[in-house]
Amino acid sequence: MKLITKSPVTFMTVKLIGRLLNPLVERGLISQPEFNELMANLRHLSQKGEMIPDVLPKLIDQKEAAELLGVSYTHFRNLERQNTFPFKRRMVGTAVRYRNTDVIEYLLNLPEVEPNETE
């Protein structure tokens, strides 16, 4: 997919669309998972100028999960012990694994920090 230099969708547009769709979610016309998927794609489009890429699902180990999250392996293990993450571990024999799609979905659904107005 061709990366564009300036996103056609701004952060403010994404917020507006979210507010417009919220009543439809509350009435059950749009499911919550569908709304979350739409908003994640729109946020990614506003930030990166492209839609969320398709990811081939695979199992990753703890070090790879920590790397995806941008934290150290030790910090990841501490956070996991505290049940910080919504994704669950999978045991493959004696090895701990995670689905990469679960980790990516967690990252995409983190609350957005609004950019500074002064920048």
Mean pLDDT taken over the chain: 87
CA atoms within 13 A on the CB side of 95: 8
Q: Is the overall model pTM greater than 0.95, yes or no? A: no
pLDDT digits (tens, 9 = 90+) for 16-51: 999 999 999 999 999 999 999 999 999 988 887 877
Return the domain boundaries, the chain. Answer: 11-48, 59-108
3 state SS of 4: coil
Q: Convert 35-61 to b/e letters by CB count within 10 Å (16 or more is b).
A: eeebbbbbbbbbeebeebeeeeeeebe
Of 25, 18, 20, which is closest to residue 112 (Cα–Cα)? 18
pLDDT of residue 57: 81
| Of 119 and 86, more confident | 86
The mean-pLDDT minimum among 47-51, 56-60, 95-99 falls in 47-51
